[in-house]
Amino acid sequence: MMNIEELEQYIQNNLFSHYKKFKLTGIFFENDEQYNKDGVYISSCNDKYNIIYVERGKEKKHITTKEENVVLWYVLDSLVFDIAVEFAVKNSEKGRDFRRKYFKKELEIFAEFGKDFEQKKKEEICKILEKNPYNDTMN
């Protein structure tokens, strides 16, 4: 089990060795439970890692794990959003669902982190599309 500083270094090393464009804005590695800003708080205590999503000063989601790769997944998932949105906006096609480009970029980035990450993201996207299929008649 890594301490919080080691975990932060592990996450940064993995992120930046695979994809140089990340900015760790909104990701906080702290063992303090003072949530002064909205974002994702990562802490290490009692032989587990906590991943806490904070919005409007309130805890919205709390995940616990003992695995560093799970922490990496959630940090990556949080950071990819802005990159994928920017890509989708710049490459949008009239009449085509915005999510086609968005999901394409997400998969491209997750694939950089290995087959397991890519497959997990594919499964997540498939679940989304089962409930909400592409709508290519959108303007």
**What digits encode the pLDDT tens for the residues 55-102?**
998 999 999 999 999 999 999 999 999 899 999 999 999 999 999 999
Nearest Cα to 93, choosing from 57, 50, 136, 122?
136
pLDDT tops 90 at residue 21 = no
> Mean pLDDT lowest for which of 24-33, 63-72, 92-101, 107-116?
24-33
Spatial contact of 53 and 64, defined as CB atoms under 8 Å apart: no
Assess whether pLDDT exceeds 70 at residue 46: yes
